[in-house]
Structure 1
């Protein structure tokens, strides 16, 4: 599978998780940006391969969905003709800023290729660093 395809799967997963109404999880009402806002630095970082929070404050509801993420990711990968085993790393930072929200998806494949992309947290579109420089969290 091409690296860009893995990155696309990762983006779709992270965007769905961040939406608060995730069809992948067949649930709604969990919003990682709310937990990020409660974190001291305004960031909630999740390792989706292990189903664990790397940094930030996590509510009990969020803990449930984070722990489900490895299995849900594996299912999504199968639907795309891939395997979650192709990922060496898949981490996402959900960031609550003074002007909105954004997320950063970091992907590393088994061959060592890596990429981090920043997206708008409301629309899931990639942010151009020239037009949208990173802002500090709230």
Structure 2
């Protein structure tokens, strides 16, 4: 599996959660950015491999959706011709701030140790280009 395809999977799963509609796991209306913004931490880290989160506390419905994304990861990977075992890290940080507004950072690492950290703005996530 090419590393670029793993990055694509990472973006797709994080962007689906960021959208708030979560069609990858059914139809769930959640707002991960609002939940992140309403706490002192102002971010939510999601580990898609384990289906867990840290940072801001999450509502029961968002906690359920994050678990469903863990379960959906194998289906998403299969559609790309790989499995979730290709990743050693597949995580995203969802946050809001006064400079960029809603943003998410996707971290992908494969079994060979190749690592990528990409930042996206808004819904849908547009890649942040650093100048």
Tell me which residue corresponds to 2:71: 71
1:114 aligns with 2:112: no
Write out per-residue CA displacement over residues 79-107 of structure 1, whole angstroms, 9 at most, x where no aligned residue.
11110110001110001112520000000
Structure 2: gaps of 5 or more residues: none
What is the CA–CA distance in structure 2 between the aligned matches of 1:122 and 1:52, rounded to whole Å?
22
Aligned residues of 1:105 and 1:118 also touching (Cα < 8 A):
yes
d(CA) in 2 for partners of 1:121, 1:76: 22
- The offset of 1:27, in angstroms, is 1.1
Output the aligned Cα RMSD: 1.1
Unaligned runs of 5+ in 1: 131-138
1:17-42 Cα shifts (integer Å, max 9, x gaps): 11011210111311211111122131
TM-score for the superposition, normalised by structure 2: 0.94
Superposed CA offset, 1:42-82 (max 9, x none): 11111110000132221111110111221111111111111
How many aligned residue pairs are there? 130
Q: What is the deviation of 1:109?
A: 0.5
Q: Which shifted more, 27-36 or 112-121?
A: 27-36
Q: Distance in 1 between matches of 2:25 and 2:46?
A: 16
**Secondary structure of 2:127's aligned partner:** coil
- Aligned position for 2:54: 54
